[in-house]
């Protein structure tokens, strides 16, 4: 099973992003825009995980998530990996409470459960909006969206998701754990 842990933003803030990028979807050569139903903020990518590891992974992730409080976040600005000039991924940035500690805890829980970590890059909170097979100059796109600043929102849970790859990627939610309400952490 191909698994990852993620935050799933509420529909109303995703509506704001959808509205902001709508004029550009399908207009930038080389960019593939995944279905909005797949939008999420990855905290940890576990890759292929044997089904036998799933019960322990769920226990470890539940513990990790419950150690952290609800996050106050907002989408602000757009960017690209590896750079705006040589992009393969176009994203919306996320600001607010630090997600780094939460992401580190979730990754550590995955490692302890035996889920092999395939993504050891420094955590950079973002929402992937489009991908390119070859490096693409996205400076005009990023500059044209520099005005965007999304509404504040609260991340209240972490979801364990199974990815079903194929021509049309599909995600299946396997578990969801609530972050501790503010003031109780």
Q: Shortest CA distance to 94 belongs to which of 71, 115, 120?
A: 71
| Alpha carbon distance 27, 129 (integer Å) | 14
Structure-token pair, residue 124? 């950079």
Which residue numbers are catalytic?
A: 40, 126
| Alpha carbon distance 119, 112 (integer Å) | 15
Structure-token pair, residue 132? 């390119």
Kindly give, in sequence order, each residue whose CB lies less than 8 Å from that of residue 26, ignoring residues fewer than 6 positions away. 33
Structure-token pair, residue 155? 């991340």
Main-chain phi, psi angles of 18, to 5 degrees:
-55, -45
Beta strand ranges found along the chain (DSSP E)? 2-7, 31-32, 41-48, 71-82, 87-96, 126-136, 153-155, 157-164, 170-178
Q: Shortest CA distance to 152 belongs to which of 76, 93, 47?
A: 76
């Amino acid at each position: 099973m191909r698994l990852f842990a993620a935050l799933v933003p509420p529909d109303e803030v995703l509506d704001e992003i959808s509205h902001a990028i709508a004029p550009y979807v399908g207009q930038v050569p080389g960019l593939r825009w995944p279905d909005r139903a797949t939008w999420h903020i990855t905290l940890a990518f576990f890759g292929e995980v044997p089904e036998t590891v799933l019960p322990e992974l769920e226990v470890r992730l539940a513990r990790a998530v419950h150690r952290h409080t609800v996050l106050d976040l907002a989408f602000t600005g757009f960017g690209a990996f590896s750079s705006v000039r040589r992009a393969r991924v176009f994203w919306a940035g996320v600001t607010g409470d630090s997600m780094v500690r939460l992401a580190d805890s979730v990754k550590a829980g995955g490692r302890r459960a035996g889920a092999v970590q395939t993504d050891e890059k420094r955590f950079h909170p973002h929402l992937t909006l489009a991908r390119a097979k070859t490096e693409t100059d996205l400076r005009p796109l990023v500059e044209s969206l520099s005005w965007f600043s999304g509404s504040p929102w609260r991340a209240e849970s972490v979801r364990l998701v199974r990815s079903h790859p194929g021509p049309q990627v599909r995600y299946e939610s396997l578990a969801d754990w609530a972050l501790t309400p503010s003031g109780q952490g």
